[in-house]
Structure formats: C-alpha cells, structure tokens
Structure 1
Amino acid sequence: MGFGERFPRWSSAIIGVAQLLLTAAIIGLEVGSAYIDLAHGTIWVGFWAGIIFIKTVLMMLFITCCCRGRCCATYVFLWTIISGVLACVVIYFDQIFINDLCKCYLGDQLCCAVRGIESFRTNYSAVFEDCAQAIRDGTISSKVCPSRPYDKLKLIQAQLGCAVGMLITCGIYVVIYIFACLGICFGHD
C-alpha cells in the first residue's frame, strides 16, 4: 500500500478548511484591531503571519485534490511546521498585548502620534501638535498612550484563540503525516 492510500484525503481536506477559516479570522481580527488603534497593543502579527498561513492553507487544499504523493505531503509538512511556529509567535504577542494594551514598539514619538484610524479622519492635526509640544517639553512618555484601547481586548483574545486553533491543526497534520510515513493505516486493509 502506497503513501497516498495511507494518507487520507479527508484529513487534509478537514485540516485545510479549518486552517482557511482560522487564517481568515486571524487576519480579520488584526484588521479590526488596527482600525481601533494602529500603534498600541499590536505589532501587526496577524498580517505577516497570515501570509505564511495562506501559503500553508493553499498547499493543504492542493494536496487534498491534486497531489497525493509523499513529496507534496512532505512539502506541506515543512510549511505546516513553519505555520505552527508562527502560531506560537502570534500566541506570544497576543499574550503580551492582553497584559499591556498600551504596549507600542514604534518609539515614543510615533506611539504618541499614531492612534486609531478615526483619529486620522477627525482631528489628527491636534494630535500631532499635542505630541510635538510634548516632545519640546520633554514629557512625551506621558503622552505615549493617552487612553487604553480596551475595545481591542476582545479582538486580541479572539485572535489568541484562533492562533491556538491554528497550532492544534498544524499538530494534527504533523501526527497524520508521521503516521502515514510509518505505514500506520487509517481504515485501509
């Protein structure tokens, strides 16, 4: 019995669809989080990790329908490991931001000036002038996080849950792949 028979098509289909939904949720939650506050409580991990997640999902769905051989499954295995590591990175940063919603990696000047998308449309010149005055006065550190973006908390928590789900689906694929490589069958004689 070949690798294709030991590696069930239904498993990669279910994992692929689950990863597709989780990837869409992670990216969508990052969009919502960035809209609320572009600088605080984010490092935009959902966007840059999402690029790798999309590649993994596409390859997972590709091996479901088209390439059932060991070579393709091994390629997806490597991408799945990378996605699992990035899911851990998303979990790490989400946990940091859940504990400190004012965390900002952009430096004091940008952390003061960059707020939610709405601030760019309403009165950004006042925000910019307030930050410039704080720089001149040497009080910029007090203006870095003028208000805690509590609206982001639920989005970050949801993204954390989706990242855990992505890590679990990656782990399941790794186990199924190893079983298929070792010749453990899934219901075949």
Structure 2
Amino acid sequence: MGFSERFPRWTSAIIGLAQLALTAAIVGLEVGSVYIDLAHGTIWVGFWAGVIFIKTLLLMLFITCCCRGRCCATYVLIWTILSGALACVMIYFDQIFINDLCKCYLGDQLCCAVRGIESYRANFSAIFDECGQAITQGTISSKICPSIPYAKLKLIKAQLGCAVGMLITCAIYVVIYLFACLGICFGHD
C-alpha cells in the first residue's frame, strides 16, 4: 500500500478548509484592529503571518485533489511547520497586546503621531502639531498612548483564538503525515 492510500484525501480537505476560515478571520481581525488604532496594540502579525498561512492552505487544498504523493505531502509538511511556528509567534504577540493595549514598537514619535484611521480624517495636522510640541517640550512619553484602545481587545482575543486554531490544524496535519509515513493505515489492510 502506497503513501497516497495511507494518506486520506478527506483529512487534507478538512484541514485546508479549516485553515482557509482561520486565515480569513485572522486577516480580517487584523484589518479591524488596525482600523481602530494603527500603531498601538499591534505589530501587524495578522498580515505577515497571513501570507504564509495562505500559501500553506493553498498547498493543503492542492494535495487534496492533485498531488497525492509523499514528495508533495512533505513539501506541505514544511510549510505547515512554518505556519505552526508563525501561529506561536502570533499567540505570543497577541498575549502581549492583551496585557498592554498601548504597547507600540514604532518609537516614541511615531507612536504619538500614528493613531486610528478615523483620527486622520478628522484632525491629522492637529495630531502632528501636538506630537511636535511634546517632542520639543520633552513630554513625548505622556503622548505615546493618549487613549487606551479598548475596542481592540475583543479583536485581539478573537485573533488569539484563531491563532490557537491554526496551531491545532498544523499539529493535526503533522500527526496524520507521520502516521501515513510510518505505515499506520486508516481503515485499510
């Protein structure tokens, strides 16, 4: 019995569809989070991890229908491990931001000036003037996070849950791959 017979087609289809839903949710939640506040409580992990997640899920769906061999499954395994590692990174950053919604990695000047999308429509020049005055007066640390973006909290928690889900789907694929490689059959003699 070959590898493709021991590696059920339906498992990669279910994992691929689950990863599709999780990736769409992760990227969508990141868009919502960035809209609320562009700099605070984010490092845009949903965007840069989403690129890898998309490639992984497309490969997962590809091996469901087109390439059932061990070589293709191994290539997907490598991408799945990378996606699992990025899911761990996302969990790490989301946990940091849940504990500190004002966390900003852009430096004091940018953290002061960069806020939510709505603030740029209303008073972009006023924000720059305020930050410029704070820099000259040496009071920039009080202006870094003028208001805590509590609206982001539920989005970050949801993204954390999706990242955990992505990690679980990656782990399931690795286990199924190992079972198929070791010759453990799924209902076949």
TM-score range, shorter chain: over 0.9
Trace 1:89-168 onto structure 2 (pairs within 5 A). 89-168=89-168
For residues 135 and 82 of structure 1, the distance between their equivalents in structure 2, rounded to whole angstroms, comes to: 41
Task: Note the C-alpha offset of 1:137.
Answer: 0.2
TM-superposed CA distance for 1:133, in Å, is 0.3
Aligned to 1:50: 50
Taking the aligned partners of 2:67 and 2:187, their CA distance within structure 1 comes to 21
TM-score (norm 1): 1.00
Q: Does 1:30 align with 2:30?
A: yes
Q: How many residues align?
A: 189
Offset of residue 121 of structure 1: 0.6
Q: Could you list the runs of 5+ residues in structure 2 that have no partner in the other structure?
A: none
Alpha-carbon distance in 1 for matches of 2:8, 2:188: 10
Shift of 1:187: 1.1
Q: Which residue of 2 aligns with 1:62?
A: 62
What SS is found at the alignment partner of 2:147?
coil
Please report the TM-score for the alignment, with normalisation by the length of structure 2: 1.00
Q: What is the CA distance between 1:188 and its match in structure 2?
A: 1.4
Q: Which residue of structure 2 aligns with residue 2 of structure 1?
A: 2
Structure 1: 5+ residue runs without aligned partners? none
- Is 1:75 aligned with 2:86? no
CA distance in 2, matches of 1:101, 1:81: 29
